[in-house]
Amino acid sequence: MSNIKQEPLVSVVIATYNMGQYLPQAVESILSQTWKNLEIIVVDDGSEDDTPKVMKQFSGNEKVHYIGNKNQGQPKAKNCGVRNAKGDFIAFCDADDLWEPYKLAKQMPLFNNLRTGVVYSEVSHIDEHNSRYEKPPAYARHRGKVTEQLLYKNFVPFGTAVIRRQCVLQNGMFDEEFRMGIDWDLWLRYSLDWEFDYVPDKTYVYREWSGQMSTNYRGRYDHAFRILKKFSSRHQGRLDKQSLKRAWADMHIGKGNIIARQEGTVKEPLASILKGISLSPGYWYGWKSLAKLALRRP
């Protein structure tokens, strides 16, 4: 059992919209932490389901704070939670996901390195019927100064991350200009001044279920281009030019690949992949993608 007097306060932000069916499970999983010095800030972004009703069961718990807002979107809801956080460390949980009880106990000791601003971990999976299953990680994980690696892939599973409050004070909150990719934008900005660390344990349980928003790959890429453009224009002097070129190339090639795969077309994917190759001719990913596209039937 941990000693609460020696533990820094961790504020856990849950931004929720119409997740009354799963929200109590998320809250209970956080309250079950072996790390006891925590608070939970639930920001209800204008839910139209039974969220206010199900949250009444926690009304007597001083660790749980419920904020009901009108619907303004995910970035504003998350920022509301961050603004109301009292802890020196801030963590996140999506309303349909879960924490393992040892999550904070595993991650918090890594903040003993004062250069560390973000500590993230591995994830496991659960379906809508609470059945567990495993998937291999989609991306390689990285530690230390990770700006270059983040330019290519957002390898930090959002809900696993715990951040130092100083990151928010120094590098800002979620950018409310964007509706998607807001965590990637946040990590890019934090990576300029802070180190990232990683716990290989699966401390976060990500739920996949039929009611989730459909995959909007065009929307994701549209926001990714906008995020990278804004980030690179503001911090160009701090970024390696070749890495940035390859990041742009990777983005164009990735977009071409997913459109080809999802829509079965050739013309638009070809233009995207060729654009990527022109930006970074030595990048093998572009030539490999071009070869795969050539084998597709129109």
Instruction: State how far the Cα of 26 lies from the Cα of 93, in Å rounded to an integer.
Output: 7
Q: What is the pLDDT confidence band of residue 211, given thresholds at 50, 70 and 90? A: low
Domain ranges in the chain are 4-208, 240-294
Average pLDDT, integer, range 61-76: 96
Under a CB-based contact definition with an 8 Å cutoff, are residues 101 and 185 in contact? no
Non-local (6+) Cβ contacts of 282 within 8 A are none
Average pLDDT, integer, range 267-293: 96
Q: What is the pLDDT confidence band of residue 69, given thresholds at 50, 70 and 90? A: very high
In the predicted model, is pLDDT for residue 213 greater than 90?
A: no
Q: Is the four-CA dihedral 125, 94, 204, 22 of positive or negative sign? A: negative
In the predicted model, is pLDDT for residue 249 greater than 70?
A: yes
Instruction: State how far the Cα of 268 lies from the Cα of 43, in Å rounded to an integer.
Output: 41
| Alpha carbon distance, N-terminus to C-terminus of the chain | 62
pLDDT, position 251: 97
User: Exposed, middle or buried: residue 45 (CB in 10 Å: 0-12, 13-18, 19+)?
Assistant: buried
When mean pLDDT is compared across 21-35, 198-212, 274-288, the lowest value belongs to 198-212
pLDDT, position 2: 47
The DSSP letter of residue 204 is E
Q: Is the four-CA dihedral 75, 78, 83, 87 of positive or negative sign? A: negative
In the predicted model, is pLDDT for residue 144 greater than 90?
A: yes
Architecture of domain 4-208 in this structure: Alpha-Beta Complex (3.90)
Q: Tokens at residue 113, please?
A: 């390195």
In the predicted model, is pLDDT for residue 178 greater than 90?
A: yes
User: Exposed, middle or buried: residue 60 (CB in 10 Å: 0-12, 13-18, 19+)?
Assistant: exposed
pTM, 2 dp: 0.93
> How far is CA 19 from each of CA 15, 46, 49, 252, rounded to the nearest angstrom?
10, 11, 8, 35
pLDDT tens string 88-115: 999 999 999 999 999 999 999 999 999 9
Question: Looking up tokens 């807002």, which residue turns up?
Answer: 69
Distance of alpha carbon 252 from the chain centroid: 22
Under a CB-based contact definition with an 8 Å cutoff, are residues 119 and 107 in contact? yes
| Phi, psi values for residue 28, rounded to 5° | -60, -40
